[in-house]
Amino acid sequence: MIYKSKYLILLLIQLMVLNLFANDANKIIEKANNQYNRGLYDSAIINYQSVVDSGIEAGELYYNMGNTYYKNNDIASSILYYEKAKKLLPNDESIQYNLNIANSMIVDKIEKVPELFYQRWWSFFYNILDSNTGAILTLILFALLIISIGIFILSQTRNNRKVSFYLSMFLLLLTIVSTTLTWQKYNNSLKHKEAIVFDPSITIKSSPTQNAVDLFVIHEGTKVKVMDKIDNWVEIKINNGSKGWLPEKSIREI
């Protein structure tokens, strides 16, 4: 009983600390918002960054940072934080709109490799859900599938069994698709990170050495996919499918 009381006290202390910490973070964000509205962008960035450095992640916070960096004429940083916000709030139209504006201001206009119609459909559903939402949706669909199968087994009439059978098949298909999408998104997030280039101009190499053959040049603000890493070099891939190596210090992960 003594041990339980001790742990309960520790838990209450932790909750109090977290509550105080959250209140402090809200005050700092409010202060940063006021500084943004007054045009004090450097000060706002410092305060926003202090909240991020404390370990807090929120789409709205990253969106505000993206806006502040954009107003401060730091386009690469604005793109970075809009992309971070988009990962947490994938369906927010304001984030996508501002991201498009920021992307229109960078040097590189890299066209994406054309997709077949079924790839476009898959990409649409892939991008509409984040991993957590996809996992929740999969669980809901699976629960509905179990209920539908139960109705099929317990139904006495032919019509009810027929309806529940086709409903079960439909829910099974949706569950498989949702599971596949969620797993692919989770797997890609582990294997292939995305990043933003922060060098004004960087030459992409054929291998992870400075003396390797020059392949092409990309510029600040360009979004890349990180495919591999060797020492202080990373292999990247851009939208048109081109690959190459650049120093890790030239990019910042989304």
Residue 39 region by backbone torsions, left for phi larger than 0, else alpha for psi between -120 and 50, else beta? left
Query: What is the pLDDT, as a whole number, of residue 3?
Result: 42
Question: Within 10 Å of residue 187's Cβ, how many Cβ atoms?
Answer: 11
Does residue 242 lie in a domain region?
yes
- The rounded distance, in Å, linking the Cα atoms of 235 and 229 is 6
| Least confident window among 14-23, 44-53, 163-172, 242-251 | 14-23
Q: Are residues 16 and 60 in the same domain?
A: yes
Mean pLDDT, the chain, integer: 85
Does residue 243 lie in a domain region?
yes
Question: What's the total number of domains in the chain?
Answer: 3
115-134 pLDDT tens trace: 666 666 666 666 666 667 77
**Among all chains, which residue has been given the structure tokens 């988009």?**
86
Q: Are residues 154 and 239 in the same domain?
A: no
Does residue 108 lie in a domain region?
no
Q: Are residues 8 and 84 in the same domain?
A: yes
Query: What is the pLDDT, as a whole number, of residue 41?
Result: 96
Give the residue from 191, 207, 223 where a domain finishes: 191
Q: Are the C-beta atoms of residues 99 and 254 closer than 8 Å to each other? A: no
CA count, 13 A, side-chain hemisphere, 87: 17
- The rounded distance, in Å, linking the Cα atoms of 211 and 42 is 39
Does residue 112 lie in a domain region?
no
Q: Are residues 19 and 90 in the same domain?
A: yes
pLDDT at 213 over 80: yes
Give the residue from 147, 175, 191 where a domain finishes: 191
Q: Which two tokens stand for residue 144?
A: 């509905």
Q: Are residues 24 and 62 in the same domain?
A: yes
Amino acid making up residue 36: Y
Does residue 111 lie in a domain region?
no
Please report, for residues 63, 146, 197, 245, 246, the alpha-carbon distance to residue 249 in angstroms, rounded to integers and kept in the order given.
24, 50, 9, 12, 9
- The rounded distance, in Å, linking the Cα atoms of 167 and 170 is 5
| Least confident window among 19-23, 69-73, 109-113 | 19-23
Q: Are residues 79 and 140 in the same domain?
A: no
The CATH code of the domain that includes 57 is: 1.25.40.10
Banded model confidence at residue 98, pLDDT cuts 50, 70, 90: very high
The residue with greater pLDDT, 127 or 169, is: 169
Give the residue from 70, 103, 136 where a domain finishes: 103
Question: Strand 251-253 and strand 233-237: pairing?
Answer: unpaired
Per mean pLDDT, which of 128-137, 191-200, 205-214 is the most reliable? 205-214
% of the chain residues with pLDDT over 70: 81
Per-position b or e across 84-119, b if 16+ CB within 10 A of its CB: bbbbbbbebeebeebbeebbeebebeeeeeeeeeee
Q: Are residues 173 and 247 in the same domain?
A: no
User: DSSP secondary-structure letter at 226?
Assistant: E
Does residue 109 lie in a domain region?
no
Q: Are residues 94 and 174 in the same domain?
A: no
Query: What is the pLDDT, as a whole number, of residue 38?
Result: 94
pTM of the model: 0.69
The CATH code of the domain that includes 240 is: 2.30.30.40
Q: Are residues 186 and 226 in the same domain?
A: no
Does residue 170 lie in a domain region?
yes
Does residue 11 lie in a domain region?
yes
- The rounded distance, in Å, linking the Cα atoms of 88 and 101 is 19
Please report, for residues 51, 88, 153, 247, the alpha-carbon distance to residue 199 in angstroms, rounded to integers and kept in the order given.
26, 26, 63, 10
Query: What is the pLDDT, as a whole number, of residue 2?
Result: 40
pLDDT at 248 over 90: yes
Question: Within 10 Å of residue 180's Cβ, how many Cβ atoms?
Answer: 14
Which residues make Cβ contacts (< 8 Å) with residue 228, sequence separation at least 6?
A: 234, 235
Query: What is the pLDDT, as a whole number, of residue 110?
Result: 79
Q: Are residues 94 and 125 in the same domain?
A: no
Domain extent at residue 224: 194-253
For 64, phi then psi, to 5°, come to -60, -40
Q: Are residues 16 and 59 in the same domain?
A: yes
Stretch 43-67: mean pLDDT:
92
Q: Are residues 90 and 135 in the same domain?
A: no
Q: Are the C-beta atoms of residues 39 and 69 closer than 8 Å to each other? A: no
